[in-house]
Chain A
Amino acid sequence: MFDTLSDRLNTALEGVRSSGTLTEDQVKKVTREIRLALLEADVNYNVVKEFVSNVRERATGAEVSKALSPGQQVVKIVNEELANLMGGTASKLTFASRPPTVVMLAGLNGHGKTTAAGKLALFVRKLGKHPYLIACDTYRPAAVDQLEQIGRELRVPVYSEGTEPAPEDIAERGIRRAKDEGYDFVIVDTAGRQVVDEQMMEELRRVRERIKPHSVLLVLDVVTGQNAVEVAQAFQEYADFDGMILTKLDGDARGGAALSVVSVTGRPIKFASEGEKMSEFDYFYPDRMAGRILGMGDVLTLIEKAEAQMDREQAEEQGRKLMSGKFTFEDFLKQMQMIKRMGPLSGLLGMIPGLGQQLKGVEIDDRVMGRVEAIITSMTPQERRNPKLLHNPSRVRRIARGSGTSPQEVQKLVKQFGEMQKMMRQMGKGRGFPKVPF
């Protein structure tokens, strides 16, 4: 649906030589593309205006380095500006000197407060804290049940008084109980509300004034559109939040709202909440979000994940083999097992710049990997090292039987493998990165 910004910029700058400076006309073309890309990513249009004028200033007359194409050069500027705007580094949790630390969650309906409450509890427990949850959503049917169920699953105590008492009273009594029982991290879940509902917003103010939390976190769905700015401003006024939790990041929304909100309120995004599993929650890394908004892929995360899982020497060895075309099924198997440790394949590929867009809508089924693995493990060591042996139909039939697949599937894999070897050899000869055969 969307091209990556880098592609667009390269098109806009076609014919520009890879050195010298950018002319005013080129910059104008480029800033137009940036503007569109940001708007499509749901960055608020006022924020876009300001941002684009900053980039224009920096880009006009900028030296184009020899290493980068003019498009890349601009992307670099844009990326830096974005990362600056979002705050350079991750902001970590701080804890009260006299426990318990009290954190209150607030946000619009359906943005994931209750789920985030559970995730945050698990997160701080991993940091050695003793979390305690308080259910203050007295409006939505079964919201209290939801938090209680989450608490049971995580074995985190949940304080609730049903839906009758005022939320500020529930919160106050809950915090007292937590203190008495020696818990040192209290998370107060509140009802979802619309910012135009003044009564509800006043209620939030009352809760905050009564319990004086150490931190108020605004929970924001990453799909939020242009009105993210109004929402954030209203919550800033009534709840005075000091940070945000960005939720549903496992979807494919660009998340421009994150940029809008940070630039308008000056409050950092502290946490990123990804999936439906309670463990999919982490500190937020602003520099990575910049890449996501622009469709440049989450290179850093990928690199880090890979580094954590791969034995570096082994990886280098593999890399050499890969490029020389001496890559065998044995190496392939090893690599697959390494990749599997890094998480679902579909997630990983999305992080590779350029690929993310190419693969949009392409189905990558992780189960396919399982079948491939079964086929390879059904080969004899000789066959794995010398795929040519697999031109023999009776070998193929044996492998199909052994792996519970069909001869066609085995043949297909062998063929694809051959193509991959060819491709890798080309890459090794420096012909660039060809299209992926998925």
Chain B
Amino acid sequence: MARSWRNFFRRKREPEAEPPRIEAAEERQEDAAEAAPPAREEPEAVREEEPAPREAEAARVAQEEGREEHEDREEAGWFGRLRQGLRKSRESVVGQLNAAVAEFKDAEDEEFWERVEEILIASDVGVTTTAKLVGELEQEALRRNITSGEELRELLVQKAERMLSGPVELDVSHKPTVILMVGVNGTGKTTTIGKLVNFLPGKVMLAAGDTFRAAAIEQLQEWGRKTGAPVIARQRGADAASVAHEAVEAAKREGMDVLIVDTAGRLHTKLNLMAEMEKIGRVIGRQLPGAPHEVLLTVDATTGQNGLRQAKMFKEAIGVSGIVLTKLDGTAKGGIALAIANEIGVPIKLVSVGEKVEDLHPFDARQFAEALFGEL
């Protein structure tokens, strides 16, 4: 039931999708079109299509498979982790929801709807999205004459799930695929990169594009040492776009499969910093048409309604392809994800439920909705 890493990376290129570089931009559009109904391949098929891995890579793949098996056993594990993370909040939110559901009489019970509203607000879902969810729920309850609280809860979970559903897969089908990591200060960009490296297929290179914050470069280098991924870095204060430039060159030269570019944390209100980020994107795109192939925005789960502004401004500036919801292991419910999915329309791709590498997971809408409101 939990989404495993196995189908998370879209690695296979379509047979005809091996065009010369110039057409890469078109190819990308096609890719986007394909992504709409997420085309998932059988994992075995993927393996067959893979070029024969060299020794080091074989070991890596083996390790990866090992981990996947391990993960399969721990399926309940990550669910459990998320659940544990949401435990305290569940005690209050789901507890309250339970109480509300138990008291539910009929759909005309104003007080009931007010309580449901409050519960959603308390999860950071925000006023607009809450109003929409509750409005729809109320209408449907009236129309179908629902009298059971349980049925209503299931309906709420379904609605939330639908809101959250979006293309989850990470597109790593290019060679090299460039992933740009962006976000506000302190939302966990570098940490997410460090974790993600462990799951990515093929050879991964990192670029230390946060040349601003003290010791950000060292932090990424430390992750590089831990994971064995080479890190392209310059001294602090260097131009981030030129670091990215150098990294793309190196990734092409050394036949990397994936390049992840870290960037400095920036508030979405700082126009000069947003412009700097756009420049990084442009520089990458000039060297490798179609790149960056993924732009991931990290959002701290503890964020309130300002998360909407963050997602909106970053999306407008650089076209975010997915959200990484971090720090879900705290008391935060991460309801802002629901608001972002509904109001900004950027899909959530990854969630982080702890500090360990294994705590990073592909996002699963159903599970997230259940963890928020479901009976567990």
Contact = CB atoms under 8 A, between A and B. Distances in A.
Given A108-B327, A141-B219, A226 B304 contact: yes
B302 A231 contact: yes
B330 A195 contact: yes
Interface string B99-140: 000000000000000000010011110110000000000000
Contacts of B186: 109-112, 221, 248
Interface string B258-273: 0000000001111100
B184 interface: yes
Contact of B185 (A141, A248, A257): A248
Interface string A178-200: 00000000000000001111000
Contacts of B335: 225-226
Contacts of A111: 186
Contacts of B304: 42, 223-226, 228, 253, 256-257
Contacts of B221: 142
A1 interface: yes
B271 A365 contact: yes
B121 A45 contact: yes
Interface string A107-128: 0111110100000000000000
A146 to B, nearest CB: 4
B331 interface: yes
Contact of B327 (A109, A112, A146, A276): A109
A257 B336 CA distance: 15
Contact of A196 (B216, B268, B307, B330): B330
Interface string B201-244: 00000000000111110110111000000000000100000000
Nearest to B327: A109
A110 B306 contact: no
Contacts of A225: 124, 302-305, 307, 332, 335-336
A227 interface: yes
Interface string B154-189: 000000000000000000000000000000111110
A144 B88 CA distance: 31
B305 to A, nearest CB: 5
Contacts of B236: 149
A227 B87 CA distance: 13
Interface stretch (A33-41, A59-67, A207-215, A409-417): A33-41
Contacts of A252: 268-269, 306, 309
A226 B327 contact: no
Interface in A218-238: 221-228, 230-231, 234
Contact of B87 (A36, A196, A234, A250): A196
A110 B332 contact: no
Interface residues on B, range: 35 or more
Interface residues of A, number: 54
A149 B214 contact: yes
A145 interface: yes
Contact of B212 (A109, A195, A253, A276): A276
Nearest to B333: A227
A109 B298 CA distance: 14
A258 to B, nearest CB: 11
Interface in A82-132: 108-112, 114
A230 B88 contact: yes
Contacts of A148: 215
Most buried by A among B218, B219, B310, B332: B332
B116 to A, nearest CB: 12
Contact of B305 (A41, A227, A346): A41
Contacts of B267: 248, 250-251
Contact of A146 (B191, B213, B302, B329): B213
Contact of A230 (B121, B124, B307, B331): B331
Contact of A194 (B127, B216, B218, B329): B329
B222 A142 contact: yes
A62 to B, nearest CB: 26
A1 B128 CA distance: 11
B215 A196 contact: no
Given A39-B121, A254-B305, A227 B329 contact: no
Contacts of A257: 304
Which one of A44, A196, A254, A365 has the greatest number of beta carbons of chain B within 10 Å?
A196
A226 B187 contact: no
B374 interface: no
Contact of B121 (A150, A197, A224, A226): A226
A39 B303 CA distance: 13
Nearest to B343: A1
A138 to B, nearest CB: 13
Which of A227, A231, A234 has the most CB atoms of chain B within a 10 A radius of its CB?
A227
A143 interface: yes
Main secondary structure on A side of the interface with B: loop
A195 B327 CA distance: 11
B280 interface: no
B340 interface: no
A46 to B, nearest CB: 8
B89 interface: yes
B184 A251 contact: yes
Contact of A42 (B191, B306, B329): B306
Interface string B281-308: 0000000000000000000101111111
Given A225-B124, A226-B123, A141 B194 contact: yes
B303 to A, nearest CB: 5
B347 interface: no
A39 B127 contact: yes
B85 interface: yes
A140 interface: yes
A25 interface: no
- Residue among A1, A144, A251 with the most chain B CB within 10 A? A251
Contacts of B187: 110
A57 interface: no
Interface string A269-280: 000000010000
A363 interface: yes
Contacts of B336: 225
Contacts of A248: 184-186, 267
A360 to B, nearest CB: 9
Interface in B63-101: 84-85, 87-89
Nearest to A200: B355
17 contacts: A44-B122, A140-B219, A142-B221, A146-B215, A153-B214, A194-B331, A197-B329, A221-B186, A223-B307, A223-B310, A225-B305, A225-B307, A225-B336, A226-B335, A230-B88, A231-B302, A253-B305
Interface of B: 84-85, 87-89, 118, 121-124, 126-127, 184-188, 191, 194, 212-216, 218-219, 221-223, 236, 267-271, 300, 302-310, 327, 329-333, 335-336, 355
Interface of A: 1, 36, 39-42, 44-45, 108-112, 114, 139-150, 153, 194-197, 221-228, 230-231, 234, 248, 250-254, 256-257, 276, 346, 363, 365
Among all A-B residue pairs, the 4 with the closest Cβ atoms = A225-B304, A110-B186, A42-B304, A146-B215
Given A149-B214, A196-B84, A230-B331, 11 more contacts: A1-B309, A39-B126, A109-B188, A139-B355, A140-B219, A153-B214, A194-B331, A223-B302, A223-B310, A234-B331, A252-B268
